[in-house]
Structure 1
Amino acid sequence: MKKKVSRTILTLGMAASMALAGCSESKETTVQSSGEEGASSDEQVVLTFWDENAGPQRTPIYEELFKKFEEEHPNIDVEYVGLPKKSAKQKFDAAIAADDMPDVAGVQTSWLPEFQVREALLPLDSYFEGWNDKDNINKAAVNFNKQIVLDNKLYGIPYTQNLDILWYRADWFKEAGVEPPETWDEFFSAVEKMTDNANNRYGFSIRGGDGGSFQLQRMMYAYSGIDHYFDENGESTLDDPKHVEFSEKYLGLYNKFTPQSDITNGYKEMVAAFDTGVAAMIQHNIGSYGEHSKAMQPEQYAALPLPKTDDGKYIAEGGNTIGFSIFKTTEHPEEAWELVSFLSSQESQSFWNQSTGQIPTHAGVLEEQWVKDAQHIQTAFEVLEDANMSFYDPAFYLPDYRSILDNIVDPGTQEVLSGKTTVKEFLTKWADAMEESKQKYDKQFGK
């Protein structure tokens, strides 16, 4: 069991146990930035950067960062390619298969083991060890990225962290005289109380479509208090009776206290339900702050921790950061590292994370005033510093971990919502897939 850490340690190496970054979707975008000609006699270098979660909120952030980078490095141009989250993994898979990869990219932690097995990434250990800023980067997050790959090398520099929470309409709750939920019973009760079908207002919105598997998994473990993904016999805990109990309650809210359209909700649709006044609550992470802050006034919404377990524990998913990686096919590894180190610096991390509302991995940024003033980030610290807080680590190291979520769990959730299968059958299928994957992995790699 991994216990919480103090704020003092957090500022030096915050535990790498936070949820996946906020998710937005858009069409693929390519922006060719061109640096001004400088006095350097070096040959002009063009680096291609792939953003795995592009959108109208985040693309401009990178454009601003690359503009500054090129001003400081006039011999390097950056070509930005923005990939919509829904299709990003498929784009990377195709690029790896064709041996035609970008120089640098944002890479989700859960992709690192598979990409390492496919020999797609450049080890960054020597670059990182020679970097003056290395001691300021979350040590636990860096170590986690090493631990989940077979050769224990560093393939991604984490630059942002997250935590799953509840977002709720504080103004609606106040008007209705309903207290924000602190327990799971209070959560389910509040969903019912805040539903007003006559006025097309619902207590909650479920992410029933693309990417919903991540949120369902995190809520199940937060409810059950289980802090291990497999037991000592290699059996998955996904279909534990407590997870069946939770999922029956949670998915049972659908089309009674949630919109009927939730069955196809991706991130964009779920957030829109909250931001446009259709849903009183959603479960996501602090990374959707950027969208909420543009749609509402500060007094209208707020963040809440996911409720504690019945015995008073907070449980969060471990290892969920996003990092920058260099792909092995780059012809300019030194310049690629210049870009990665620039994007991972205090100034860049501060700009990126403040704009998106997420938690930086750089210790210096954690001391900045905007972090101290952000209600949603302080809510995350409240959870992380709780004496009864611990983490569970998903099986990110399994090369097909992500494909199981995408191809079995997301469609399976929709089958439950549509009444085509039961929660127990769904969770058993999910658990069996993970167990089979683990058995193959253990056999192949001698674990």
Structure 2
Amino acid sequence: MAAGSLAAVALGTGLFSGAAAANPYEKYEGTTIVVSWPALSHFQKAEELVEEFTEETGIEVEVDALQYLKLRDRQILEMAKGEGEYDVVSWVVMWKGEYVSKGLLTPLSQMFTNGALVDPAYDIDDIADAYLQNGGIVGGKKGYMPGKSGGLYGIPFGAETSIMAYRKDLLEQAGIEPPKTYDELLAALPVIKEKTGVGALTSRGKTGHQVTAGWLLHLAPLGGKIFDDQWNPVFNDAAGVEAARVMREITRTGPTGIASYGFSEASAAFLQGDAAMYIDTLKIAAMSRDPKLSKIDGKVGFALHPVGSRCGSETGGFAVGIPANSQNKEAAFLFIQYITSKAGDKRMVELGGDPIRLSTIAHFADQFPEYPVVAEQLPCADPDWRPLIPEWNELNIDVLGQALTEVITSDKPIQPIMDAAAEKARAIMEREGYYAWTSYRQ
């Protein structure tokens, strides 16, 4: 799709019907907006879309692409100023509550009330609910879930859920069908290892947030949560312990080195042929087709994330919104609307990025074998996959990230390890005042 083609799509759908000479961008021509987002693959592939936006609209865009670990501090610094540098920011979903609680973001409802700005064909209902809830809604149930008290602050861009990828040849060699349930998965792990000589399932396992992410992938479908609705830690219940046992078995039967694997290492183990299965982000599909990353193109199949007591897959990735101190909010909104529109979302797929819209997934279902799987998986994507609260970083790294390392690197009983972690989590929540109302009522 060439530059200017989004306008052609808009004209073709009658966006400007009855007002052929009208140009909603004309007022903002010559404006320069500054966008802060991570130097990651999806956003790098969006650079061409940004150029097309400028060519079509006359709005100039400067992109400040930072290494992911530096992004949050830089954004907070700019958004806390009276007048900041950024007009659009992209955040990983865990940061949204902190940004809103500090008053750093513009409620997008202010923009969606402006008929001159909002494209009638935008169709926000076409965006996958789990992505929108996880990345953009703040203030509902638990403060980060949907609900009547919630508000929209961002639109997903670079969002994801989890699926299974598997080596068709290795599972055939082992006489195994792609596991549909956790019972089937646990039964398959040692068989695959024994019959193929290859690690059964790769996983993140490095101490800290990586091993926690690996465990969370199994906690949701096994029916577990981190907290109940009163903020009591419940991850040491039967579901949490079972998810930890699954992690231990994955480590035992998987490729050597899982205890040192971050996302990159876990993915590389599958892509380089050292593991028969992968359960994590859907991004593995595009990676498996990339000759720079993969030795297994043409050998990979895709299936739903296995189910336990329920279906429950990951929600994660990024969303985009407008800082409260932006001096160009309307132009910023037009940019966000453009890159997340139906035409923009399709263009992102053409450029090698990830879709956020159901219509885009359906449109490309015949071209990408994982898309029908993703379409079926999305209704199971859990917006409460992890608690998106400011304390999560400490809980994630210092509490769960330590306990789960002990689980996968030892043969110690799992229940006491998880019980001790739950006590530490409760102390953190007590320190931060989460139980103040409960104590008051007593």
Query: TM class by shorter-chain length?
Result: 0.7 to 0.9
SS at match of 2:199: coil
Partner of 2:300: 301
Q: Secondary structure at the match of 1:102?
A: coil
Structure 2 distance, partners of 1:250, 1:235, is 23
CA distance 1:250–1:277, change in 2 (3 Å): same
Calculate the TM-score normalised by the size of structure 1: 0.75
Equivalences for residues 48-127 of structure 1 within 5 A: 48-52=34-38, 54-55=39-40, 57-74=41-58, 76-93=59-76, 95=78, 102-127=86-111
Summarize the alignment of residues 120-135 of structure 1 with structure 2, pairs less than 5 Å apart. 120-130=104-114, 131=118, 132=120, 133-135=122-124
Q: Report the Cα distance in structure 1 between the residues aligned to 2:233 and 2:255, rounded to whole angstroms.
A: 32
Q: In structure 2, which of residues 408, 426, 430 is the aligned counterpart of residue 417 of structure 1?
A: 408
User: CA offset at residue 326 of structure 1?
Assistant: 1.1
SS in 1 for 2:178: coil
Instruction: Give the Cα–Cα distance (whole angstroms) in 1 for the partners of residues 31 and 285 of structure 2.
Output: 36
1:401, 1:434 within 8 Å by CA — same for their partners in 2? no
Runs of 5+ in structure 2 lacking a partner?
1-24
Equivalent of residue 365 in structure 1, options 330, 346, 360: 360
Whether the 8 Å CA contact 2:81–2:325 is kept in 1: the answer is no
Distance 1:229 1:291, change over 3 A: same
Name the structure 2 match of 1:324.
320
Tell me by how many angstroms 1:351 deviates. Answer: 2.6
Higher relative contact order (CA 8 A, sep 6+): 1
Report the Cα offset of residue 172 of structure 1. 1.6
Write out per-residue CA displacement over residues 256-289 of structure 1, whole angstroms, 9 at most, x where no aligned residue: 4233322221211111111111111122121222
Q: Cα 1:355–1:205, aligned 2, differ >3 Å: closer, same or farther?
A: farther
Displacement, 1:213? Answer: 1.9
Mapping for residues 77-226 of structure 1, pairs under 5 Å:
77-93=60-76, 95=78, 102-130=86-114, 131=118, 132=120, 133-138=122-127, 140-141=129-130, 142=132, 145-148=137-140, 149=143, 152-159=150-157, 161-195=159-193, 201-209=198-206, 210-223=209-222, 225-226=223-224
Q: Is the 8 A contact 1:160 1:323 kept in 2?
A: yes
Residues 235-254 of structure 1 mapped to structure 2, 5 A cutoff: 235-254=232-251
Question: Where in structure 1 are there 5+ consecutive unaligned residues?
Answer: 1-38
The letter of the residue matching 2:150 is N
Distance change >3 Å, CA 430–CA 119, structure 1 → 2: farther
User: What is the one-letter code of the residue matched to 2:105?
Assistant: L
Cα deviation, residue 109, structure 1: 2.6
CA 1:64/1:196 → structure 2, altered by over 3 Å: closer, same or farther? Answer: farther
Q: Distance in 2 between matches of 1:166 and 1:412?
A: 26
Among 281, 287, 292, the alignment partner of 2:283 is 287
Q: Is the 8 A contact 1:398 1:441 kept in 2?
A: no
Question: Would you say the 8 A contact 2:346–2:355 is kept in 1?
Answer: no
Find the counterpart in structure 1 of residue 311 from structure 2: 314
1:94 CA displacement: 5.1
Q: Check 1:353–1:251 CA distance in 2 against 1; reply closer, same or farther (3 A cut).
A: farther
Secondary structure of 1:51's partner? strand
Shift, 1:116, TM fit: 0.7
- Equivalent pair of 1:290/1:355 in contact (CA under 8 Å): no
User: Residue 136 of structure 1: CA displacement?
Assistant: 4.3
1:358–1:377 Cα contact (<8 Å) kept: no
What is the CA–CA distance in structure 1 between the aligned matches of 2:199 and 2:422, rounded to whole Å?
31
What residue identity is the alignment partner of 2:102? Answer: R
- Superposed CA offset, 1:27-52 (max 9, x none): xxxxxxxxxxxx97978443222223
Q: Which amino acid aligns with 1:50?
A: S
Q: Deviations over 1:334-375 (max 9, x none)?
A: 2211211111111221232465564423x542441x135433
Q: 1:239 to 1:98 in 2, by over 3 A?
A: farther
CA 1:383–1:68 in structure 2 vs 1: closer, same or farther (change >3 Å)?
Answer: closer
Alignment partners' CA distance in 1, 2:105 and 2:126 = 20
Aligned CA distance change for structure 1 residues 429 and 288 (closer, same or farther; 3 Å): farther
Shift of the 46–359 alpha-carbon distance from structure 1 to 2, 3 Å rule, reads closer
Q: Which amino acid aligns with 2:298?
A: E
Q: Secondary structure at the match of 2:283?
A: helix
The 3 A distance-change label for structure 1 pair 373 and 43 is: closer
Higher mean Cα deviation, 427-436 or 289-298? 427-436
Match of 2:396 in 1: 405
Displacement, 1:233?
5.3
- Matched to 2:100, the amino acid is Q
| Contact persistence 2:345–2:356 (CA under 8 A) | yes
CA distance in 2, matches of 1:77, 1:332: 12
- SS of equivalent to 1:328: coil
**Compared with structure 1, are the counterparts of its residues 413 and 258 closer, same or farther at alpha carbon in structure 2 (3 Å cutoff)?**
same
Measure the CA separation in 1 of the matches of 2:375 and 2:221: 16
Q: Radius of gyration: which is bigger? A: 2
Q: Hey, what does 1:14 align to over in structure 2?
A: none
Q: Report the residue type matching 1:329 in the other structure.
A: N
> Does the Cα contact within 8 Å between 1:169 and 1:281 map onto a contact in 2?
yes
Q: Which moved more, 1:435-444 or 1:244-253?
A: 435-444
